[in-house]
Each structure stands twice: as structure tokens, then as C-alpha cells.
Amino acid sequence: MHSIIVKAPAKVNLFLKVLGKRKDSYHNIITIFERISLADTIKVFKISAGIIVKSDKFITQNPKDNLVYKAAKLILECGKIKSGVKIEIKKKIPVTAGLGGGSSDAAAVLRGMNKLFRLRLSDNSLLNMAKSLGADVPFFVLDTAFAIGRGRGDELEVIKPGKRFWHLIIKPGNKTSTKSIYEAFDKIPKHLTPGRESAKIQIPSKFRIDYKQAESILHNDLEIAVSSKKGVTGRILKSLAQLLGKKAIVSGSGPSLFCLYRTRREALDARDTVLRSVNARSRTLWQIFVV
């Protein structure tokens, strides 16, 4: 086998609560991840030496700064592989959007190269590598639709899926960095943020997430920081609530936001309502997905 193709799905955070800052500069959180059908495609080829990363859309100025490059380097070193890899990325997940595209691409490279070079690395080995790359990467290494994330988000507990549901996702034209959003959150007076005691969510052992459950837990502490730093996101959230009569929340550190629907038809109708109601000039840089 000289090459392998791996799908790298996006995620949304159905629930995200910030518990406090850690000594390592990260934050302790509790979140519920959901893997969605929006996905990048990663193709990995064996080459004689080195690491080459190519993407059909801009990802980083220096390829060595990209998580995909770092993931490939980790696998090559771990497997003591003397040859190299060329990695081609076809992007469908928006960059710096709060949808986990970079983390998912890195996880796809870990999984794909493990198979390509027949390394037979255990799930635990891949998870430990994923943790060293970033807080969201471990979730994408797991073969699961839903998981609770604790600690930095990398201490995971799998949740079983119920009947599938649909999402309308809007990515505004602005970009955010996770670091800047957490810094903004830390500066918000504590009386304006939800109390720590509300961080406890009870998940029964046989809990399955379906539309009703997902709709009932939608929450993101970082939303106040995203909305204050990037005012356009807050305006869109308010507009969606009025226009669709639905709760919409920010995913991760944003700026993408989403709302839930029971069926694909309902989500498509909501998308069409948005497109009719928001003039083309106002949504020039928007990306809209039904997934």
C-alpha cells in the first residue's frame, strides 16, 4: 500500500463550560463534543524522505507550524520510519472557525499513517500522541459521534448516539483565535458569567444523545467573549433567534454558530429562510452548511 485516504470530520460543542485557568496556561473545561458530517479529505502518500504538506486552501504560512505536519513527524519518529510522506488536504471545514478542522486533520494523519505503515499502534498510544498535539485532537482519534471532554477537553468519556439530527451552521467572515477568546473571557467580570456551580451536568450511564437531549443542553460559556470581541457574531445570534425562533450557540471559540433540527428538510428550510432574509452583501463572506 503506497497511499491512503482518510476523512477528517468537523465537530461542534453542544455544551462548553469553563471551570478555571490551569497552570499550563490552558483552561479546565467540561464540554460535549459532537462529530458532524462536514469533513476534510486527507490523502497520505509514501515518499522517499521528508514531510510535504499541501492544501487546496491556505492553512498556515509555515507548513511546520501546522498540526498535520507535527502529527506526521510524531508518527515517523515513533515508528522509526526512514521514508517520508506527502500529505494532500482537501478542505471543506472552514479554517479558524471553532469546528476543529485543524485538530481533525491531525488526528486523521495519525490514524492514516498508522494503517499506511502498518505500525499497529494501540488506541492509547494514538491518544497520547493526540494529547501532545492539542486539546481537541484526542476526540477525533476516537471512533465516536459524541463524547464528554474534561480537563483541557482531552479527558474523554464516550456517549452513545441516539437517532441522528441535523444542524444549520453559519461561519461569519471574521476569524478568531482560541487563545484570544479565552483571554477575553478571563477579563469578563465574574458576575457576568455563569456560576461555577452550574458546571455540573449529570450524564446517566445509558445516556444517548438525540435531538431532544441535544437541544436541552445547548450552552457555551465562551459565547459572551466571542460576541463582545467579534460583534458580528452576537448580532447574527440575535437575528437567528428572531428569524428562526431557535436557540443558536457558538461552537468552541467561534466564530461559527449553529442551531439544531430534527430533519434535513427542516434545516434546509431554515437555511433558505436565512438566505432570503439577509441581503447578499451582508453575508458576502459567510459560509453556510446543513450537516
pLDDT in tens, 190-204: 756 654 444 456 555
pLDDT at 158 over 60: yes
Average pLDDT on 47-58 reads 94
pLDDT score recorded for residue 191: 55
pLDDT score recorded for residue 273: 95
Average pLDDT on 253-257 reads 94
Separation CA 284–CA 61 (nearest Å): 25
Of the candidate ranges 93-97, 135-139, 235-239, 249-253, the one whose mean pLDDT is the lowest: 235-239
133 Cβ neighbours under 8 A, 6+ residues apart: 67, 70, 71, 74, 103, 106
Instruction: Please indicate whether residue 11 is annotated as part of the active site.
Output: yes
Domain ranges, ordered by start, for the chain: 3-160, 162-290
Q: Average model confidence (pLDDT) for the chain?
A: 91
The predicted model scores a pTM of: 0.93
pLDDT score recorded for residue 275: 94
Instruction: Please indicate whether residue 186 is annotated as part of the active site.
Output: no
pLDDT at 239 over 60: yes
At residue 240 the predicted structure's pLDDT band, cuts being 50, 70 and 90, is confident
pLDDT in tens, 111-155: 999 999 999 999 999 999 999 999 999 999 998 999 999 999 999
pLDDT score recorded for residue 61: 77
Separation CA 114–CA 247 (nearest Å): 41
Residue 118 falls in which region: left (phi positive, over 0), alpha (psi -120 to 50) or beta: left
Average pLDDT on 180-187 reads 90
Separation CA 247–CA 131 (nearest Å): 32
At residue 235 the predicted structure's pLDDT band, cuts being 50, 70 and 90, is confident
17, 70, 105, 136: the catalytic one is 136
Question: Tell me: domain 3-160, CATH 3.40.1390.20, correct?
Answer: no
pLDDT score recorded for residue 175: 78
pLDDT at 258 over 70: yes
**How far, CA to CA in Å, does 260 sit from each of 38, 156, 167, 170, 245?**
15, 23, 5, 12, 11
pLDDT score recorded for residue 196: 43
pLDDT at 59 over 90: no
Average pLDDT on 273-280 reads 92
Average pLDDT on 218-223 reads 95
Residue 221 in grid coordinates: 460559556
pLDDT score recorded for residue 159: 92
Separation CA 230–CA 184 (nearest Å): 11
Question: Tell me: domain 162-290, CATH 3.40.50.300, correct?
Answer: no
11, 17, 70, 171: the catalytic one is 11
